[in-house]
């Protein structure tokens, strides 16, 4: 089961062509980023569930969690977990430039959600 509050927040961010930091995602999910297990396992799990939920709805949907980025990286980019899942679901090839992939996927997310409504309930 996905975190509906987070899901709606990510769609809202995408519709506004924005970005959200992992810290906000952790707050929404009630996770403590100072605890390694919550940071590295639970946070990835929550985000992976959203991407898999999206792919189950429509295989062609882009990775919504592309809007989630590291605060201390410039340019703003997602974490390794994002790219690992992208490889796992077959949208990122081994050796492909991760930064370029992220920019392309982010633009696909923005384009996909720009005219769509935020789901009320599923």
pLDDT at site 108: 97
- Assigned domain for 71 exists: yes
- Assigned domain for 103 exists: yes
- Assigned domain for 117 exists: no
- Assigned domain for 12 exists: yes
Q: Which residues constitute the domain of residue 82?
A: 4-110
As a whole number of angstroms, the distance between CA 29 and CA 7 comes to: 11
Q: Tokens 């991760």 identify what position?
A: 98
Q: Verify cis geometry, omega within 30 degrees of 0, for the bond prior to 75.
A: yes
- Assigned domain for 14 exists: yes
Structural domains in the chain (count): 1
Distances from the Cα of 107 to the Cα of 8, 27, 32, 37, 103, angstroms: 18, 25, 30, 31, 6
List, for the chain, all residue ranges whose pLDDT scores fall below the cut of 50.
Answer: none
If you average pLDDT over every residue of the chain, what do you get? Answer: 90
- Assigned domain for 28 exists: yes
Q: Indicate the pTM of the whole model.
A: 0.90
- Assigned domain for 122 exists: no
- Assigned domain for 40 exists: yes
């Amino acid at each position: 089961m996905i975190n509906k509050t987070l899901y709606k927040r990510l769609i809202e961010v995408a519709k506004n062509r924005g970005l959200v930091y992992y810290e906000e995602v952790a707050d929404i999910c009630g996770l403590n980023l100072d605890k390694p297990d919550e940071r590295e396992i639970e946070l990835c799990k929550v985000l992976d569930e959203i991407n898999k939920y999206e792919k189950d709805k429509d295989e062609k949907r882009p990775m919504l969690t592309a809007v989630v980025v590291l605060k201390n990286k410039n340019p703003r980019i997602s974490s390794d977990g994002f790219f690992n899942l992208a490889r796992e679901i077959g949208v990122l090839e081994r050796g492909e430039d991760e930064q370029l992939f992220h920019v392309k996927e982010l633009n696909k997310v923005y384009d996909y959600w720009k005219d769509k409504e935020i789901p009320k309930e599923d």
